[in-house]
Structures are given as C-alpha cells and as structure tokens.
Structure 1
Amino acid sequence: MDAVMLSRIQFASTTLFHFIFVPLSIGLVFLIAIMETLYVFKGNEMYKKMAKFWGQLFLINFAVGVVTGILQEFQFGMNWSNYSRFVGDVFGAPLAVEALLAFFMESTFIGLWIFGWDRLSKKVHLLCIWLVSLGTIISAFWILAANSFMQHPVGFEINNGRAEMNDFFALITNPQVLVEFPHTVFGSFATGAFLLTGVSAFKLLKKQEVEFFKKSFLIGMIVAVVSGMGIAFTGHYQAQYLVKTQPMKMAASEGLWNDSADPAPWTLAALIDTENKENSAEIKVPYLLSYLSYSKFSGVVEGMNTLQSRYEEKYGEGNYIPPVKTTFWSFRIMIISGGLMIVLALFGAIQALRGRLETSKKYLKLMVPAIFLPLIGSATGWIMTEIGRQPWVVFGYMTTADAVSPNVSAGQVLFSLITFSAIYLLLAIVMAYLFIRVIKKGPVEETQDTHHTADPFDGKGGHAYAK
C-alpha cells in the first residue's frame, strides 16, 4: 500500500479508538450531573453514592481519552502536511478554541469536583460537575465545527493557494455543524446511558447492590429513551441536509447508481456490483427514500452516474464516486444500531416503571452486550460520513491524495501505524482492567470521618469510601 492509503488507515484507526472515549465522557458526566442534582435537591444519600461510583468510570475514561486525543492533532502535521498548509488558517481556529477554552474548562472543574466533596458547598460542588458537562459539550461543538468545514467549506477565501478565514461567524454557524452537533450530542448521551444500564443489568443479574443499580438503571433508561428519539429526529434532518450539500454521499449510502423513481424507494439491502455500476439484487421499501430526503412521499433522488458527470464538468476528469459498499453498509449498521437502542430503551423503561425489571432476566442479559450498540452506531456513522466524502478531504477544494505529506514514505507511516496500534492496544487493556476492577468492587459506603484524605476515589477511608 502507498503512503496515502496507509495514512488514511492510521488516521481512521486512531480516530475510531479515540472516538470510543469522547461520546462516553460526554454521556457519563451528563448522567453524573443528573445524579448529583437529585442528591442536592432530594437529600437522598443514595444519589451521592451513585455520582461517586459512576464518577470513577468517567475519570478513567476521561484520562485515557486525553492521551488518545493528543495524537489526533499531531497527525495533521506528520501525515497530512499539505492539508494543514492549505486549511490551517481555517481549521486551526476551532481546534485552538477547543483546547484553550473547552478542554481547560473541563480540566479545571473536574479537579474541583474530585477534591471538592465536603469542602465546597453542595450547590457549588454541583455547579462544578455541570460545568464539566457543559465543557465536554462545548468541546464537541468546536471539533465538529472544524470537521464541518471539511464537509461544507464556508467562511473563507483562497489567497496564494491557501484557504484563509474571512468570516469566523460563518464558520461556527455552518449549517453542517448545526445538523451534526445535536446528532452527536444525543448519540453521546445514549452512549453514557447504555454503559450505565449495561453495568447495572450485570449487577442486577448478580443480585448485588440491587436498590443502587435499580435507580441507576432507571436514570439511564430515561436518558436512553430521550436520546434515542433525539438521534432519530436529528439524523433525519441531517439526511435531508446531505441531499442538498453532498448528494454523491447520499447516493452512495443508498447504492443508487441512476436517478431514482418518483417517489423514491429506500433500499433496505442490496448486492452491489461496483465494477459494472449496478445492483444485482435489492430489497426496497416504497416511498421511504423520498420521505427521508424531502419529508414528503414524492421526489427524485439523483444517482451516482448523474452526479459523476456533473462533477467532471465542474472539477475536471476523475472518479468522484466514493467506496460505495463501505458507505452503503456502514449507514445501515448505524440505522440498525439506533433502532435497537430505541426498542431496548423503551422496553426497559416500561419494565422499570412497572417494577418488573428484576424479573426480566432475558432482557437484562441483552442489556450487557447492548453497551456496545451506541459505540457501533457512532463508529459506523463516522465511517459513513468520512468515507462517503471521498475523494475529497475538503469538499470541492482538495482531494485526499493531494493532502498527504509529500516527504513521508509508506515505510515510515507503516512503522508509526504499528507502533500506535500497539500503544492503543495496551491502553485498551489497561482501561478494561480498571473498568472491571471498579465495577466488581461496586459502590462503597462513606465513613463518618470526613476530614482527612487527599483522594476522594482511593477507597481507603477518610471522607471517601470504606468497605
């Protein structure tokens, strides 16, 4: 493989691994903030214990996420120097704001939250965790603002062969980020909620700390239901925007080679023949693609062959059709994951509210592996978003082949790919070990002595915990 493909594989692998931690951090800290809010306003010590227990998992996840995230920005200079040179003036601004504002905000108030138990007033301490939650959400916004520029470039002009920002407000109000951001946030809330319910389900099956994990499960289920609906609605709006701005991606995600009929059916599954540019077999749902695209049961959706001809006229000769099979199936895996999340969340919420949760053994067993559903949905959604944009790295202005560093050899990229993969594997093992250790130990009781400890999560007495 050449340096371009290896650089793409490296960026994809490190991003997919890092993206495990980002939505989990956003979702978990939001749930912890809800728990502490219930503690402050209801005075029930159970909610305080819940915030502390789930806080341990959040802190582990946050720490590993920081380590894996550092590499992401380094890669722009290492493997993608032509890209950085072209868009650095635009792309660098939201990344800088994210680091200097959102990340510092998260880090500062995480520290206050960790060491502020019984030192700060209840409401000030509660404010700290909500500010951490707000910081993670703001951080997501700035990252998505940078990514949205790659999908739909706005707020810039070309000078001396470089993209230079001339409208910061246009950059942060890019319609692309306005549809991506809520979808990502709801997906993150669902990720945290399904970790909460999955761990709680495991503990309930073991009949350990039953009351504690029943309450945790119910909070997680309520958030999961709301998030699942939010994912569905915001995803619908995102698809409609895609038809307008990146019709080729939309066509590839549907395996649509030629213009659709009117009304357009949605392809549930297909045997895609990319060599002959046709589908040898298809299962279709009538009218549905028109509704997804235009919110009405009529309307033609353009096919890849039509768009290829148009792009050749506009951008010159070349292949503007992305990897169709990857785009098509990643989109469907994302939809299946989202649908299963909604079904499981609704059923679980009903069972919990009826008091039948503990007796639903089969359902609880399903909820343990269901922890991974939001992660699968997020990963495949990201794959569809990025692969479906190919061959562009900045849509309409720079191709991926032109963005790679010219002086980095395939051997150098391969070496770094192997090295980073080994480090990430080690981090994954460490994180899994720490998660399992905390989950097995479970929530622990506070002692009466609340004056002498440095670490509120050490589990060794003081004002923290003791068995």
Structure 2
Amino acid sequence: NHFFKTSLRFGLWASLIFAILSAGAGDLQTQQIIKDQPMKFAATEGIYKDTKDPAPWTVVEMINAKDHKASGQIEVPGVLSILAYHKLSGSVKGMDTINKELHAKYDKQFGKDMNYYVPPKTLFWSFRVMTGIDALIMLVALVGLIFSRKKKDTIENHKWMLVVLGLCIWVPFIGNSAGWFITEFGRYPWIVYGLFTIAQAVSPTSTVASLLFSNIVYFLLFLFLGGVMVWYCRQTLHHGPYYEEADSKQNVDPFAKEAFGK
C-alpha cells in the first residue's frame, strides 16, 4: 500500500507540474501562431468576422463552414484579448479578412482558386478538448494530492476518486490527439506554410490500398502494445511490485558448494 501510494503521489505531482508547464508552452505557441498562422488561430476561436476591441472569448458556438458563418455564441467579454495579447485591449482578425489577405499575397503564385479556409469545426472543438483536458488533469491531480496526504490517508476510502484516476490514464492520449488535429488541419492548405501546398505533396505512387494496409498494421501493432501494457499493469497492481513466482529458483553457481546439495 505504501509503495503504490508513493508512486501515485509521484505521478500526481508530475501530472500537476507538467500540465501547468504544458499550458505555459501552449500560451507561448499561441503568440507565435497569431503572427505566423493567423487563420489557424481564428479558426480555433471560431472567428469569421473581425472582433471588437476588446475581443470576447467564445465558449461554444454553432459553425456553418459552408456559408462561413457562426451563430449561437456564448461569449465571455474581453477574455480573448487577454489570452491573445496579454492585455485588456486588442481585436482579433477573422477568417474572412485573413482569407482576403492570403489571396492578395499568394494569388500570383498559387492562383485565385485556392481555398485558404481551414476546417473550422475541427479546430474549434479540438482546441477546447485539448485545453479542457489540460485543465481536467490539473484538477484531478490537485484533488488526488489532497486526498492522499500522509496525515489523512483517505484516498482509498473514496472509490469514486480511484475510478476517476483510472479513467484519466487515457485522457492525455485524447488531448494529445486533439492537439495533433489542430497542428495538421490548421496548416491547410500548406505542407510548408506559404511555400508548398498539400496538392503539390500528393504522391503519385501511393495507392488507397497501400495506405489502408499500413494504417491497419500500425493500428494492430499499437493495439497489441496497449494490451500488453494493460495486462502488465494489472499483474503488477494485483500481485505487488515484489511478487515472485512460487516455483522460481535462485540461480546457483555450478561450482559452488550449494550446487552439490548438502
């Protein structure tokens, strides 16, 4: 019990610290994205039209990607200016304005038929899943540390908390995947931003069958590794870290006295 509780507290402290650091790193990246990939930033916030000053932060909204419109917004006044610029003022460009700017900049090189809008629904909700999971990890880690204090060993008396901790094992993978969705969909239509488009990067030799086969192989491989991890964790938790098989024998030097019996 002491071993597992110590291990749990170590993991909770690591989760809390790195979740905070992750939020800080995300904030630094956001400042750069606003400058280098403004369309991605506008899509993560679901902004089609330029915002007012100060800019409100949209909690949820209904997005019509076909008509480039958003409705049903629930907004918190002024918060987006703080998140974007670290100050109480400042408006944010919308996707419509950015699309016009990109056409003016790249039409001679890539043509007027280019679509510079990124998939707004994917980015908007992926961003909220990613940041929401980071906040959830902070909260769960903090509550877990409170419940597992040495003076009050109460965490084992809160079965619901143990269930939450078990479920949270998978949560970072979901948050990480949401972050990758933002990265990959957010650079549309570029492979190398401003230089090389996705259409130019399509391989003429790759077939649907080869892509499907490789993805199935990777899926089965990671499914197997995940199963091994779950099995090993269950064995360790059930038997304890110092468990040895009943018929396990100590290796003896063949030239030692013990090898010849008594």
Q: Which shows bigger deviation, 274-283 or 403-412?
A: 403-412
Query: 1:401 aligned to 2:192?
Result: no
Post-superposition shift, 1:289? Answer: 0.8
Supply the AA of the counterpart residue of 1:329: W
Change (3 A) 1:212 1:422: closer
Change (3 A) 1:393 1:260: same
| 1:59-208 → structure 2 map (5 Å cutoff) | none
Q: Report the equivalent of 2:92.
A: 301
Q: State the distance in 1 between where 2:45 and 2:80 align.
A: 9
Supply the AA of the counterpart residue of 1:361: K
Q: Report the equivalent of 2:3.
A: 212
Residue from 320, 332, 356 that aligns with 2:128: 332
The count of corresponding residues between Structure 1 and Structure 2 is 242
Query: 1:365 aligned to 2:163?
Result: yes
Alignment deviations for residues 320-378 of structure 1 (CA, whole Å, 9 cap, x no partner): 11111111110000111111111111111122224232333322221110112222211
- Larger C-alpha radius of gyration, 1 or 2? 2
Supply the AA of the counterpart residue of 2:146: I
Change (3 A) 1:444 1:330: same
Q: Report the equivalent of 1:265.
A: 56
Q: Report the equivalent of 2:143.
A: 347
Q: Report the equivalent of 1:247.
A: 38
SS at match of 1:371: coil
Q: Report the equivalent of 1:171.
A: none
Post-superposition shift, 1:414? Answer: 3.0
Give the TM-score taking structure 1 as reference length. 0.49
Unaligned runs of 5+ in 1: 1-209, 447-458
RCO higher in structure (CA 8 A, sep ≥6): 1
The percent identity for this pair of structures is 38
Unaligned runs of 5+ in 2: 252-262
Give the TM-score taking structure 2 as reference length. 0.84
Query: 1:280 aligned to 2:71?
Result: yes
Q: State the distance in 2 between where 1:420 and 1:223 align.
A: 29
Q: State the distance in 1 between where 2:210 and 2:13 align.
A: 48
Q: State the distance in 1 between where 2:169 and 2:215 align.
A: 28
Residue from 164, 182, 187 that aligns with 1:384: 182
Post-superposition shift, 1:296? Answer: 0.7
Change (3 A) 1:462 1:236: farther
Q: State the distance in 2 between where 1:405 and 1:376 align.
A: 29
Alignment deviations for residues 165-201 of structure 1 (CA, whole Å, 9 cap, x no partner): xxxxxxxxxxxxxxxxxxxxxxxxxxxxxxxxxxxxx
SS at match of 2:72: strand
